[in-house]
């Protein structure tokens, strides 16, 4: 079950830490830096069963119009990295915050977003 991780390039350090943490728990992670087509790619990913994590911070330059193109589904988790609120269009999604958390608390939120550690014995070749 691949996890799509969308982030703004200014938050790449957070995104890399999250990717490493999820991979250590057995998840495959695809990183999607925010760019011209990021909302379309998130929407496409949300049409399937795989988890999608969108990182938001004061550094994210997406507009309200961009966020309105992202459908709110059960597989979407918005994770705030600082005190900035979640985009208005995504507030009905699962929204979490890593702001002011220690590593253990942050890992707990990440595992909740992806349904826990991946069981390597459940994979088929």
Q: Are 7 and 41 in contact (CB under 8 A)?
A: no
Using 70 as the pLDDT threshold, list the residues of the chain that sit under it: 119-125
What per-residue confidence (pLDDT) applies to 3? Answer: 96
CA distance 1 to 14: 21
**List of residues 6+ apart from 17 with CB closer than 8 A:** none
CATH 3.40.50.620, applies to 3-116: no
Q: Are 87 and 76 in contact (CB under 8 A)?
A: no
Q: Where are the domains of the chain?
A: 3-116
What per-residue confidence (pLDDT) applies to 121? Answer: 47
């Amino acid at each position: 079950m691949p996890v799509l991780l969308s982030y703004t390039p200014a938050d790449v350090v957070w995104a890399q830490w999250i990717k490493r943490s999820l991979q250590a728990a057995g998840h495959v992670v695809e990183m999607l830096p925010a760019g011209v087509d990021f909302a379309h790619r998130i929407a496409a990913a949300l049409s399937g069963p795989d988890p999608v994590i969108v990182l938001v911070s004061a550094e994210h330059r997406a507009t309200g119009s961009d966020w309105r193109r992202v459908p709110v589904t059960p597989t979407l988790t918005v994770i705030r990295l600082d005190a900035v609120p979640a985009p208005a269009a995504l507030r009905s999604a699962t929204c979490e915050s890593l702001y002011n958390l220690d590593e253990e608390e942050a890992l707990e939120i990440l595992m909740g977003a992806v349904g826990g550690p991946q069981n390597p014995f459940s994979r088929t070749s």
